[in-house]
Chains A and B, each alone.
Chain A
Amino acid sequence: METMKKEKDLQVEHLRAGYDDCVIIEDMDICLKRHEITTLIGPNGCGKSTALKTITRILRKLGGNILLEGKNIQKMPTKELAKKISVLSQSQFTPADITVEELVAYGRIPWQKWYETEGTEDKDVVDWALQAAAIDHMRKRRVSSLSGGERQRAWIATALAQKPEFLFLDEPTTYLDIAHQIEIMELVKELNHKFKIGIVMVLHDIEQAMEVSDQIIVLKDGKKVAHGTPLEIITEQMIQDVYHVSCQIIYLENQSKPVIAYHSLTNRKVRI
C-alpha cells in the first residue's frame, strides 16, 4: 500500500532554483502527494512562485531532481509532462475574442498530434472540464466579458482539460472578493476529492490555507521552514518567526479550523 502511494507522488530533491543571475531557492526537499491539497505559504519574495514554476518545469531548475512517479521530469518530453501536470500562473493573458469553450479546448493541445484537430474524445473532455468547473452555462461567452471569479474558473477548466494528475495554482484567489474566493476554494477541494487531482497552491491567506489544505509548506528566504498538517505547523510562534507579526490563534466552538487575530509587527525593520 505504501509503495502504491509512493508511485503517485511528486518528489522534489535538493532543488536549487532561481534565475541565471540569482539563486532564490537552495537545497529544498518536498514530497507532494496526489491525494492531498498542499499549500505553500510565506512572505512576499520567499520563493513560493519560483518553487511552483520550477517544480512544473516552467522555469529551468538550477539543480536537484524532480521525480514524478519515480521518473525524472527533466527527461520527460514536454508534451508528456503537460498531460500529467498543469499549472496556472498568477495572472493569465487572455486573447480578446476567445470564447470560454475555445479557451478550454486549448487545454487539449498536449493530447493532440500537431496535425490533429479536435476529436470526439477531446470534446468529451472539454465538456467534462466545463462541468467540473461549473462554467458549462457560459461556454459561448467571451472570456474577456467574464467577471474575475468566472474567468479564474475558465482558466481552471482549461487546466483540467489537460487531464492532469497534479494541478498547480499560483495565488488563485488574488483579486477576487470573498465569495468568489470561497467558490474557488470549494472547487479546488472538489477537484481533489472527487477527481483525485493532486493540488499544489500558493496562497497568501493563512486562514484560507488552513481551511483547505491537507499539508502546508512554509517558506522563508528560499528555504522550507515547516511542512505538516495545518494544525501542527500554524502556530503563533511560527507566524511571528516567519512574518514578524504577533497574533493570537483562536479556536472557536463548532469550527474545525481556528481564526487568526493579527496584532502588530514585531519587527519594524522591513527586509528588502
Chain B
Amino acid sequence: MKGSQDHISVLRKSTVIITCFVLLGILALIALRIGSVSYTNSQIIESLFDTNSTVHTVIINLRLPRVILAVFVGMCLAASGTLLQAVMQNPLADPGIIGVSSGASVVATIVFLVTPSLLGALPLLAFVGAAGACCLIYVMAWKRGVDPVRIILAGTAINTMLGGVSSFLTLLNSDNLQGVLSWMNGSLSAKSWSQTNVLIIYGTIGLVLALFCIKAANALQLGDDMAKNLGLRVNLMRVILSAVAAFLAASTVAVAGMIGFVGLIVPHIARLLMGSNHKSMLPGSMLMGAIVVLFADTVGRTIVSPMEIPLGIVMSVLGGPFFLYLLRRGRKEC
C-alpha cells in the first residue's frame, strides 16, 4: 500500500539511476574508443583476447585505468562535496573552494618536493593536510555553532592562504616544476594502473564510509538544534563526517591533483533530480560525479588533440558557467 503512494518518486529516482548507468557505460566506451588513435568496438573486443597487440596495450594499460580513475575521482569528489554541504549547512561547501583540497595539496607538494621517499603514503599524508584544513576552518568559523556564511568566508581565506603556500613551495623548487605544475592543475594524464589502484583502494574505503553517514547527514542538514533533538551527537558526527569528506578529497588530490567544482556542482544536480534525502541523493551524487568527470576528462583529452587540457582546467571552464546557470534556475523556481 505504501509502495503505491511512493510510486511516482521511486519510479523517477530509478529512472534517473538507470539513465545514469547507461550514460556512464556509453561514456566509458567512447573514452576507450577515441584518442590519438581511434578504435572501433570490434577492435576493442578483439584486443581483449589478443594480449600482444598494440590495441591491447593502449586499451588495457592506458585508457582503461584512466577511465576507472576518472570514475573514482568523480565519485569521491562528489561524495566529499555532498557530505561537506550537509555538515556545514551550506550549499557552497566544496572541498576545492573551502580549502580542504588545498590542505591536502600543500602536504602533497611538500612530499613531492622534499621527501619523495614517502610518496607511497601520499594519500594518508594528504589526508592529514585536508583534515588540518578542515579543523582550521572550524576553529576560524566557530562561534556558538556553525554559521554557514562564516564557514565559506573562513574557508575561502584558508584556501587562498594554502594556495599561496603551495605556489611558494613550487617556486622554491623550480627544477621539479613541470611535474608538480601539471599535478596542481589536476590531471589524469599518464596515470598507470598502480596509481589507479591506489585510488580504487582508498576511494572504496572512503565511499563505503560515506554511505554510513547518510542518516547523520540527513539530520545535520536540518540544523544543529534539530539534529540534537533527533538524538544525534552533533559535534561528534560533525567531526566524523568532515573527516570522511576530507579523506575522500585527499585521496583524489594525492592521485590526481586539484580538481575543483565537481564537489560543488554534482551534489546540486543530484539534489535537483533525486531530492534532498541523502539516502538516494548521496549514491546519485556519486554516480553523477563519475559521469561528469569522465566526460570532462574525455573532452579535455580529445578536443585539442594532440595537446591535452588538464581535467582541473576543463572542470573550471565547464563548471563555472554551469554553476551560474544552476543559481539562476534555482532562483526562478522559488
Task: Give the Cβ gap from A141 to chain B, nearest Cβ, in Å.
Answer: 12
Instruction: Report the separation of the CA atoms of residues A236 and B277 in the bound assembly, to the nearest whole angstrom.
Output: 51
Sample of 30 A–B contacts (CB below 8 Å): A19-B144, A78-B228, A78-B231, A78-B233, A81-B231, A82-B229, A82-B230, A83-B231, A89-B225, A89-B226, A92-B226, A93-B226, A95-B221, A95-B276, A96-B330, A97-B272, A98-B275, A99-B9, A102-B275, A102-B276, A106-B222, A109-B215, A109-B218, A110-B231, A112-B215, A115-B212, A117-B279, A140-B8, A144-B334, A162-B230
Interface flags, A86-123, vs B, CB<8A=1, else 0: 11110011111111001000110110101101000001
B223 at the interface (CB under 8 A from A): yes
B109 part of interface (Cβ distance < 8 Å): no
Q: Which residues of A contact B212 (CB under 8 A)?
A: 114-115
Q: Are A109 and B277 in contact (CB under 8 A)?
A: no
Q: Which residue from chain A places its CB closest to the CB of B89 in the assembled complex?
A: A93
For A88, list chain B residues within 8 Å (CB).
229
CA distance A93 to B221 in the complex (A): 8
Check if B277 sits within 8 Å of A82, measured CB to CB.
no
A57 at the interface (CB under 8 A from B): yes
Q: Are B228 and A57 in contact (CB under 8 A)?
A: yes
Closest to B278 in A: A95
User: Which residue of the partner chain, among A78, A92, A99, A114, contacts B275 with CB atoms under 8 Å?
Assistant: A99
Q: A92-B222, A112-B215 are in contact. List 6 more A-B contacts (CB 8 A).
A: A78-B232, A93-B89, A96-B276, A97-B272, A109-B230, A162-B230
A positions within 8 Å CB-CB of B:
19, 53, 56-58, 78-83, 86-89, 92-99, 102, 106-107, 109-110, 112, 114-115, 117, 123, 139-140, 144, 159, 162
Q: Return chain B residues, CB-CB under 8 Å to A81.
A: 231
Least CB distance from A109 to B in Å reads 5
A29 to chain B, nearest CB (A): 24
User: Measured between alpha carbons, how far is A53 from B229 in the docked complex, in Å?
Assistant: 10
Q: B219 in the interface, Cβ–Cβ < 8 Å? A: yes
Residues of A within 8 A of B271 (CB): 96-97
- In the complex, the 10 A-B pairs of residues with the closest C-beta atoms, listed nearest first: A82-B231, A110-B231, A79-B231, A95-B276, A93-B223, A98-B276, A109-B230, A97-B275, A97-B276, A89-B225
Query: What chain B residues lie within 8 Å of A96 (beta carbons)?
Result: 271, 276, 330
In the complex, chain B residues whose CB is within 8 Å of the CB of A19: 144
Q: Find the residue from B221, B222, B229, B276 having the highest chain A CB count within 10 A.
A: B229
- Complex Cα distance A73/B277, Å? 30
The residues of B that contact A98 with a CB separation of less than 8 Å are 275-277
Note all chain B residues with C-beta closer than 8 A to A95: 221-222, 276
Scan residues 258-297 of chain B and give those whose CB is less than 8 A from a CB of chain A. Answer: 271-272, 275-277, 279
Residues of chain B with a CB closer than 8 A to A86's CB? 229
Tell me the bound Cα distance from A82 to B226 in angstroms: 10
Distance, CA A203 to CA B216, complexed state (A): 31
Provide the residues of chain A in CB contact with B223, threshold 8 Å: 89, 92-93
The answer to whether B277 and A102 have CB atoms under 8 Å apart is yes
Interface centre among B2, B219, B222, B272 (most CB of A within 10 A): B222
CB proximity to A under 8 Å, residues B159-199: none
Q: For B212, give the chain A residue with the smallest CB separation.
A: A114
**Nearest chain A CB to B148 CB, angstrom units:** 9
Q: State in angstroms the CA–CA spacing of A108 and B150 once bound together.
A: 31
Q: How far is the CB of A140 from chain B (nearest CB, A)?
A: 8
A123 interface neighbour in B2, B9, B226, B276, Cβ under 8 Å: B2
Whether the Cβ atoms of B233 and A109 lie closer than 8 Å is no
The distance in angstroms between the C-alpha atoms of A58 and B222, with both chains bound, is 14
Residues of A within 8 A of B8 (CB): 140
Give per-residue flags for B318-334: 1 if the beta carbon is below 8 A from chain A beta carbons, else 0: 00000000000010001
* Bound CA span A87–B222, Å: 13
By a CB distance below 8 angstroms, the chain A residues around B231 are 78-83, 109-110
CB neighbors of A among B222-250 (8 A): 222-223, 225-226, 228-233
Bound-state Cα–Cα, A222 to B151, Å: 32
Interface membership of chain B positions 120-138, coded 1 if the CB is closer than 8 angstroms to chain A and 0 otherwise? 0000000000000000000
**Complex: chain A residue closest to B273, CB-CB:** A97
Residues on A with C-beta less than 8 A from B279 are 117
Q: Chain B 86-101, CB within 8 Å of chain A: the 1/0 string?
A: 0001000000000000
